[in-house]
């Protein structure tokens, strides 16, 4: 894979790892809220308020990283001229793209 800007691609892969961590924590927090904490609404209002603040913060980070993810996807395809198969592999599997570049090159070529 010939890239014009490897630093940008490495930054994109790191952002994708952070994005996956944010998404997993957001989904886990929603699961905990809706399964275990809804029965304590009347007794523990401050705890529920803390969960709501955390949920709104997680949702804002989630939306921010989705926007950054799509902007990076468009930059990689249009501005750097990298083919779509490489970009999708890079964006969907960031751990592979960071640590196993030779295997990714063999798969794509």
**Residues 49-85: tens digit of each pLDDT:** 666 777 777 777 778 777 877 777 777 777 767 777 7
d(CA 85, CA 52): 39
Q: Model-level pTM?
A: 0.46
Is the pLDDT at 14 greater than 50? The verdict is: yes
In Å, what is the CA distance from 20 to each residue of 86, 92, 97? 19, 10, 14
């Amino acid at each position: 894979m010939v890239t014009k800007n490897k630093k940008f691609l490495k930054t994109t892969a790191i952002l994708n790892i952070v994005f996956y961590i944010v998404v997993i924590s957001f989904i886990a927090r929603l699961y905990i809220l809706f399964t275990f904490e809804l029965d304590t609404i009347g007794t523990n209002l401050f705890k529920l308020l803390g969960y709501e603040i955390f949920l709104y913060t997680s949702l804002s980070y989630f939306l921010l990283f989705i926007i950054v993810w799509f902007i990076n996807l468009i930059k990689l395809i249009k501005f750097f001229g990298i083919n779509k198969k490489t970009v999708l592999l890079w964006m969907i599997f960031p751990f592979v793209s960071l640590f196993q570049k030779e295997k990714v090159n063999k798969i794509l070529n």
